[in-house]
Structure 1
Amino acid sequence: MMWHLPVPNRLWQLLQPKRLAIFEACVIGLVSGLAGFLLKQQVGWLGGWRVYAAHVLPPWLILPAIGLCGGLLAGWLVERLAPEAAGSGIPQVKSALARLPVSLDLRVAVVKLVSTTLVLGSGLTLGRQGPTVQIGAALAAQLSRWVPTSPDYRRQLIAAGTAAGLAAGFNAPIAGVLFVIEELLQDVSGLTLGTAILASFVGAVVSRLLGGNELSVGMNADQINFLPQEIPLLLILGVLAGLLGGLFCQGVFLSLTFYRRVLRLGLPWRVGLAGLASGLIVALLPASFRDNAGMQELLVTGEASWQVTAVALVIRFGLTLIACGSGAPGGLFAPSLVMGSALGYLVGTGAQSLQNLSLVSGVSWGADLVGSPTVYALAGMGAVFSAVARGPITAIVIVFEMTTNFNLVLPLMITSVVAYLVSEQVFPGSLYTRLLEWNGIKLDSDAPADGLWAKLTAEDIMQGRVETLASELSLDEVVQAFSRSHHRGFPVLDEGKLVGIVTQTDLAVINQRGLAGDLPLREIMTLQPVTVRPSDPLTQVLYLLDRYKLSRLPVTEGRKLVGIITRADIIRVESDRLSGDHNRFGPQPEPSYVVHQTRAPALGQGRLLVPLANPQTASALLRLAAAIARERHFELECLQVILVPRDNSPSETSVRTTSSRRLLDRAVRLGKELKIPVHTQVRVAHDVAQAILETLKERHIDLVLMGWEGSTPTPGRIFGNVVDTVIRQAACEVVLVKLCSQTIPNRWLVPMAGGPNAQQAVQLLPALVSLSSAPEIRLCQVFEPSQPRPDQSNLERAARFLSRRLSQRGHGRAVPWKVSTTPVHATSVSHAVLDLARQDQCDVIVLGASREGLLQQVIKGNIPEAIARNSKRTVILVRGAVGS
């Protein structure tokens, strides 16, 4: 996704999408690694001070006191500053990756870092790897706000931060990426793995360089030797680990229920009581249990006796549930690894003791049936982790990366997979998903991401025609444009390219700074506005509107403006989709098919479409279109439609294009004479109107000029099947021409009613009268007979505009012109216009539609149709583009 931001060009060249992704991944990995190292150092320092205090002061007093105070302070920080930082943080990250509105930012990262330090340093038995995951994700989310991105790419950054956080916590870069895929996303179709892999690698490297190995097992390769005869014992260990993991998950919810329904205290008191209880229990145990980090190292390396290991397994199980249920910020990764190590060590030691006992009693089990308990301790680590986190692949890789011993892969695979299958029977579903559901957050995996919005693009909802202003307009003219329009903002064009945008907020600067009215618009407009491309998804549009608090977004191809999107457009699309208005019933024609086309250089500031059907009127229509194109610096797009029966596919039907191309060649020759770029195309279609509408959309047409017979024999139609459809559905400006004479027109009659389409007709006149040798323009307005002194300000304003424009024209030759105004009192508008046209012997009548559009005006009186049907003169009907 790309958009324009007010950033120096050289910086944008340096930060192209791929380079920017690499830079962001490195930054995310760096800050996540630093955060992980800082958390480890702070917890180690505070924990060391706690152990020292327990040696100097009575442990039964100091340990509960530290636990209570640390828990109260941590809970207060979380409750007051960042409630999202409660718990392990993994469920919050999972919901954020599922596009739920969960806050992740620098505030959450800082509070999580400080509160986790207080909780772990105060003696609560939790891990810091889960918090590093949330810290990494929050820092990545904050980066996405500093360097604004699309919602999809923001999700990529959060996933990268999550991987970097886990990698920094365990010094396991591969496991970080796998955990994101396996547990949090469970889908890689929309994930750019390169960003996550690079961030995870950098995070692990930074953490390892600064903090050394994490959970070091402290053994060499000779101590780890797997024997195939041990597979039955490993299966037993996997079953026991699955039971332990499932029981632990059940215990987590029992603890949560107890705190919520029995104690019913606020978060500070819940965490404080958990710290108090942990301190009291640890104070009653031997001194070796007071140092969580030391006990953790002792159990993981298998250096403790089986009695100490058994007690530690039970104590860790209970204390972790006490701390986790309180909502204390801390993770479950490290406790599950430690409990798994203790369980595996007990199984290995027990099996080895039974083997030794059998040898003493004279019963042989076979040589080397049981290997070192170290293998079982490490296999148990992965098994319990797999049972709790429901990530067997991640469990295997984490332990493997910590030991870097390939002999452990097969034991880890056996125990982790078996534990995963058993725990699913004991406690179905992901622990983190169940925690979200327990808090009322439902992850619907079957629903498509973003629902309706995932299928829509900017092109689907944008308005194809936009009212714009020129950068050279004076501020007085800009103020007048706002007063005449209901828009709250206008894109600003310079030589057909988008250079800025001006809104009502910008106009306030005029009064505040006392700016002169003749100052050009470029002095106050917003330069390089935020834009989207037609192919950008609606999620990107919504993100930018919310990120920059905008009410409208220009849609551009390069720097060419092709449409605009407002908040009202999004509401309208949602309403149409919900009400079903977008569904069309009955057999529908197939899309038209382009069988021939030519392209000229795209040098214009817009495009004018001329559908050519009648060779007799083609030349006159082309002259009118060329005059408008030359005046507005447009390119000409000429279309010829060949109809085929509905039972034939346009893309599979053979047609002759000789006569069509001959007709289009006229336009090409005219374009060369007038130096106007001319594009041509021949479409095969079931319906002419459909082919025209498809061309309008595909070629981003700004104005369509069509021939019109002046009446229609079709009942229920105003102008005919094709014209009615184009008027009703085309967003661009529409000009209908009923030709009654091929001679050069000189006398022009322009009825006015003061609406915007009448103004559009006046804006078009300078281009049209360029065909005249001595144009005479009469502006008239019909008033009710009851208005003896009508307001003629609209007539006078239009006359001044035309006089100024015609005096500026001439193209190197003196062209005489005349502009006059005539107020008319009559009860019938159509009769008054026809009478005036006969009296003045006008050649052309130019009509602007009412504010409601041509069809609405026709319903109220068929004024344009009545004038065209009853007049023997050329009639031009102008309908302005659909406003934003």
Structure 2
Amino acid sequence: MWSLSIPRQLRHLLLGSKRLAIFEACVIGVVSGLAAVLLKQGVGWLGGWRVYASYAFPAWITLPLIGLVGGFLAGWLVERLAPEAAGSGIPQVKAALANVPIALNLRVAIAKMMSVILIMGSGFNLGRQGPTVQVGAALAAQLSQWIPTSPEYRRQLLAAGAAAGLAAGFNAPIAGVLFVVEEFLQDFSGLTLGTAILASFVGAVVSRLLGDQGLNLAPSMTELQASFSLEDVPFFIVLGLLAGLLGALFSNGIFVSLAFYRRVIKLGLPWKIGLAGLITGAIVVMLPAAFRDSTGLQEFVNRGEAQWQVILLAFVVKFCLTLVAYGSGAPGGIFAPALILGSSLGYLVGFSAHSIEPLLGLPSEAFPGIGSTTTYALAGMGAFFSAVTRGPITAIVIVFEMTTDFNMVLPLMIGSVIAYLVADRFASGSIYSRLLAWNGIDLEKDATGNGNLWTTLTAATLMQRRVETLSSHLPVSEAMQAFSRSHHRGFPVVDGDKLVGIVTQSDLADMTRRSSSTAEVFLRDIMTPQPVTVSPKDPLTQVLYLLNRFKLSRLPVTEGHKLVGIITRADIIRAESDYLSGETRQFGPQPEPSYVVYQTRSPAVGAGRILVPLSNPRTAPLLLKLAAAIARDRDYELECLHVIIVPRSHSPAETTVRTTMSRRLLRQAEHFGQKWQVPVHTQARVAHDAAQAMLECIKERHIDLTLMGWKGSTSTPGRVFGNAVDTLIRQAACEVILVKLEEFKQFNRWLVPIAGGPNAQEALQLLPALTALAEQPDVLICQIFEAHQQKPDTTQLTAVVADLSDRLNCPVAALPVWGNSVPEVVTQLAQQEATDVIMLGASREGLLKQVISGNIPEAIARHSNQTVILVRGATASADHG
């Protein structure tokens, strides 16, 4: 419908102005901050009750039982309410931002929060900061559904929600923005960054004011000024190397754990997570009491007050239990575990540095000297986080924002960058992209393949530049005549080049119902002003959104107020169909119908017609000779066609062309017909596309057989025989014969491979007519068998030779041949037997399968020096292979 229009101010509000962007960013930040606070409070309350219960009741029963029940309930919630809430949630957000259809809404956010509270409160070694990213993105996605917005702007809202979620989880607004840019978008556009920064800042402020949100660091870690000197550099390098190696091991361990649960543990998701909780509780029972409280364990490790053996134990236990929990599919993140593991590793390296400092002759107490273990712990946090997430910038900024100590920047940079480089050598790529690929979503493949082409399409790519318009000063009575002459249901109303409105059949009908007289009524009185439009640079996603949002069938394309084109639903559907089927690599509107500029007619005395497209004066006589031989045998007429191609920006019916070459070529066909005593009709068509013109001629002239020249090879990817030929073979219902002509010698010696298909039979039916062209024809029928077939069945070969011997007045021989490559066997046999013509039946397989498995006819034509004739029988409908 064209009649739907809204005021310009309201439309700008709905489609996402900057004022609306600021408002939505603030709302997203507030809601994400509140969600993060609620998540922290819920985890703290349930976790505190679990620790209390472990002391009030026997721990060896309480902890495993709570882990089992809590894990089962969380798994049940995820399975029944929102399967998208499994895992950390960051891969799901990454996929949604890449336009993969994954649900993100209020239902997912609620399921995620409830299940994460159950998981972490039950003692699982996972974090809540990763899930807050998904919660924030899901809440932003729900907001984009409540307030209409375009797909591109919705993507920006999702990014803002993810940034706000991470900022609220860590009290690190800058890190929230950088993580989204570094991991998700790689987009530094003003609107995206501005929305993400504002939402991230608001989310962090809300979480800090209401919940003192963030990763708990010991006072010694936040109050102590980090010390750093030249003597520390080698140890920070060692820390980076160890963090890289162990971070890569941790990342690969996640996939080992996932594979184990998927292939070995044949249980439903609730039982898998419950089993992980049971194992976690059973192991924690055997550890010191400090390990029962995850928050307490973090402080215990961060203070560094324990002996190195206890910290090493904490590293190993945290490492293994995180893999056990994550592999089960439990909703929870790896941010916090990675930071705690890094902190433990840093303390161990710092402790080792202090231990060997006297052996190296370095000062033990005086400055400069080896930095404190706290400095190493903080550097280790960034290094291990960088190795696991492959986000070195985010790692540096997160730790810096938590400590606000500029002295930490250089140690963080050394450890994080080295850890990133080392880990990337062992397990390349983002862990979140790898997790998506594990579940069958390969974002990197899609980004490098042709599927990414759709993200670059714009309105200018597909729009029709020739637009029928009406003037606003046109009387309604004349407008009605324009509608009666056109198939369009509406017209843009243009004054000069300026688009001023839209008029539709509905507008005319409404006016007629209101008044029976159209006198002194003009289009400006009934048109819809200020219509919905797009610019040529708008992406296809924006065009599709507007078409669906306002229930339109087409959109004017404008530059400012100037009308430059129009884009319809049909244009988009056609381009998508062409792209998916490989019909064309050129996107754009459908070509206009061809236009006949010259034609001659002979008496219609034949039983059928053969279409012979002519373009090359050198090959035309040979094609006509073959066509005439078939026409005489079948009592057919010849329809000779020459196509004149014009650019798509010009209408075939309105373009001036020279027909001198066409007339000369078609007159040659007429003379040939008189010589062979075959009726010949001729026509020249002006067209955008040669194949389209041939199909129109086939339909209009009721063609029974098309015989056309063929180069014998194609270099175009996705093509089997070539652009025009592929289209004709797919869509023409008549019989099609392709001829690859070599320098004319003779048509004496014929080689016909057979395989038993219907097209091979069609080829055999043409032999009596075509062998009549030779003075002394000689036919060799061969059947190719696989090399391992010692005693092949030659019944079919014998029957074919016997049948042809009765119908042909020439020798017919049979020859079984063995080989693994059909093209190679045929070309070698043709060379050995000195044949003039190779005649083939088109494969029974679809064209797409031929491209994949190898195009046998094309390979034979490419590597042979003989004339090659390929026959495809008539079909009831087009073959879209």
> Do both proteins adopt the same fold according to a TM-score greater than 0.5, normalized to the shorter chain?
yes
CA distances 1:784-832 after superposition (whole Å, capped 9, x unpaired): xxxxxxxxxxxxxxxxxxxxxxxxxxxxxxxxxxxxxxxxxxxxxxxxx
1:579 matched to 2:579: no
1:93 matched to 2:93: yes
Answer with 446-455 or 556-565: which moved more: 556-565
2:236 maps to amino acid: L
CA distance in 2, matches of 1:367, 1:448: 63
1:397 maps to amino acid: V
- Root-mean-square deviation over aligned CA pairs: 4.5
CA distance in 2, matches of 1:4, 1:400: 53
Query: Superposition pairs for residues 476-495 of structure 1, below 5 Å?
Result: 490=490
CA distances 1:471-530 after superposition (whole Å, capped 9, x unpaired): 9999xx99x99999866x5468699733676779x99x99xxxx9997999999999765
2:258 maps to amino acid: L
Q: Would the alpha carbon gap of residues 447 and 692 (structure 1) be closer, same or farther in structure 2, given more than 3 Å must change?
A: closer
Secondary structure (helix, strand or coil) at the match of 2:332 reads coil
1:498 matched to 2:537: no
1:131 maps to amino acid: P
Answer with 287-296 or 454-463: which moved more: 454-463
1:701 is matched with none
1:169 matched to 2:172: no
Answer with 543-552 or 293-302: which moved more: 543-552
Query: Superposition pairs for residues 238-637 of structure 1, below 5 Å?
Result: 238-355=240-357, 369-443=369-443, 444=445, 445-447=447-449, 450-452=452-454, 454-458=456-460, 460-462=462-464, 464-465=466-467, 490=490, 497-498=500-501, 530-547=532-549, 550-555=552-557, 563-575=565-577, 578-580=582-584, 582=586
CA distances 1:616-674 after superposition (whole Å, capped 9, x unpaired): xxxxxxxxxxxxxxxxxxxxxxxxxxxxxxxxxxxxxxxxxxxxxxxxxxxxxxxxxxx
CA distances 1:291-316 after superposition (whole Å, capped 9, x unpaired): 11221233234344433322221111
Q: CA contact under 8 A between 2:15 and 2:148: conserved in structure 1?
A: no
Answer with 568-577 or 338-347: which moved more: 568-577
CA distances 1:335-363 after superposition (whole Å, capped 9, x unpaired): 0000111111122223334447x69xx99
CA distance in 1, matches of 2:646, 2:486: 31
Query: Superposition pairs for residues 482-881 of structure 1, below 5 Å?
Result: 490=490, 497-498=500-501, 530-547=532-549, 550-555=552-557, 563-575=565-577, 578-580=582-584, 582=586, 714=660, 716=662
CA distance in 2, matches of 1:177, 1:285: 38
2:236 is matched with 234
1:179 is matched with 179
CA distances 1:212-235 after superposition (whole Å, capped 9, x unpaired): 151243235545222221212222
Secondary structure (helix, strand or coil) at the match of 1:497 reads strand
Q: CA contact under 8 A between 1:469 and 1:491: conserved in structure 2?
A: no
Secondary structure (helix, strand or coil) at the match of 2:448 reads coil
CA distance in 1, matches of 2:248, 2:109: 30
Secondary structure (helix, strand or coil) at the match of 1:565 reads strand
CA distances 1:31-57 after superposition (whole Å, capped 9, x unpaired): 222221221111112212222222322
Answer with 331-340 or 168-177: which moved more: 168-177
Shift of the alpha carbon at 1:259?
0.2
Q: CA contact under 8 A between 1:498 and 1:559: conserved in structure 2?
A: no
CA distance in 2, matches of 1:32, 1:519: 60
CA distance in 2, matches of 1:583, 1:469: 30
Q: CA contact under 8 A between 2:216 and 2:298: conserved in structure 1?
A: no
CA distances 1:440-460 after superposition (whole Å, capped 9, x unpaired): 111234347830551432563
Q: CA contact under 8 A between 1:498 and 1:560: conserved in structure 2?
A: no
1:743 is matched with none
Shift of the alpha carbon at 1:114?
1.8
1:215 is matched with 215
1:92 maps to amino acid: Q
Q: Would the alpha carbon gap of residues 301 and 581 (structure 1) be closer, same or farther in structure 2, given more than 3 Å must change?
A: closer
Q: Would the alpha carbon gap of residues 363 and 347 (structure 1) be closer, same or farther in structure 2, given more than 3 Å must change?
A: closer
Shift of the alpha carbon at 1:135?
1.5
Answer with 328-337 or 190-199: which moved more: 190-199
1:71 is matched with 71
Q: CA contact under 8 A between 2:97 and 2:159: conserved in structure 1?
A: yes
CA distances 1:181-222 after superposition (whole Å, capped 9, x unpaired): 223334547973222222222221222122215124323554
CA distance in 1, matches of 2:536, 2:428: 45
1:98 maps to amino acid: A
Q: Would the alpha carbon gap of residues 168 and 537 (structure 1) be closer, same or farther in structure 2, given more than 3 Å must change?
A: same
Shift of the alpha carbon at 1:140?
2.4
Q: CA contact under 8 A between 2:575 and 2:587: conserved in structure 1?
A: no
CA distance in 2, matches of 1:546, 1:158: 21
Query: Superposition pairs for residues 26-65 of structure 1, below 5 Å?
Result: 26-65=26-65
Q: Would the alpha carbon gap of residues 493 and 45 (structure 1) be closer, same or farther in structure 2, given more than 3 Å must change?
A: farther
Q: CA contact under 8 A between 2:469 and 2:493: conserved in structure 1?
A: no
2:673 is matched with none
Structure-1-length-normalised TM-score: 0.59
Secondary structure (helix, strand or coil) at the match of 1:450 reads helix
Secondary structure (helix, strand or coil) at the match of 1:263 reads coil
Shift of the alpha carbon at 1:317?
0.9
2:123 is matched with 123
Answer with 148-157 or 236-245: which moved more: 148-157
1:651 is matched with none
Shift of the alpha carbon at 1:334?
0.2
CA distance in 2, matches of 1:13, 1:254: 49
Gaps (5+ residues) in structure 1? Answer: 585-688, 697-703, 718-723, 731-884
Q: Would the alpha carbon gap of residues 110 and 457 (structure 1) be closer, same or farther in structure 2, given more than 3 Å must change?
A: same
Q: Would the alpha carbon gap of residues 581 and 13 (structure 1) be closer, same or farther in structure 2, given more than 3 Å must change?
A: closer
CA distance in 2, matches of 1:581, 1:311: 60
Q: How many residues align?
A: 597
CA distance in 1, matches of 2:563, 2:659: 39
Secondary structure (helix, strand or coil) at the match of 2:501 reads strand
CA distance in 2, matches of 1:276, 1:410: 42
CA distance in 1, matches of 2:26, 2:472: 43
Shift of the alpha carbon at 1:322?
0.7
Secondary structure (helix, strand or coil) at the match of 1:498 reads strand
CA distance in 2, matches of 1:452, 1:11: 26
Q: Would the alpha carbon gap of residues 412 and 524 (structure 1) be closer, same or farther in structure 2, given more than 3 Å must change?
A: same
1:97 maps to amino acid: L
Secondary structure (helix, strand or coil) at the match of 1:418 reads helix
CA distance in 2, matches of 1:494, 1:462: 16
CA distance in 2, matches of 1:331, 1:464: 55
Shift of the alpha carbon at 1:102?
2.6
Identity %: 59
1:628 is matched with none
Q: CA contact under 8 A between 1:491 and 1:502: conserved in structure 2?
A: no
Q: CA contact under 8 A between 2:463 and 2:557: conserved in structure 1?
A: no
Q: Would the alpha carbon gap of residues 426 and 563 (structure 1) be closer, same or farther in structure 2, given more than 3 Å must change?
A: closer
Gaps (5+ residues) in structure 2? Answer: 589-644, 664-682, 690-881
1:149 is matched with 149
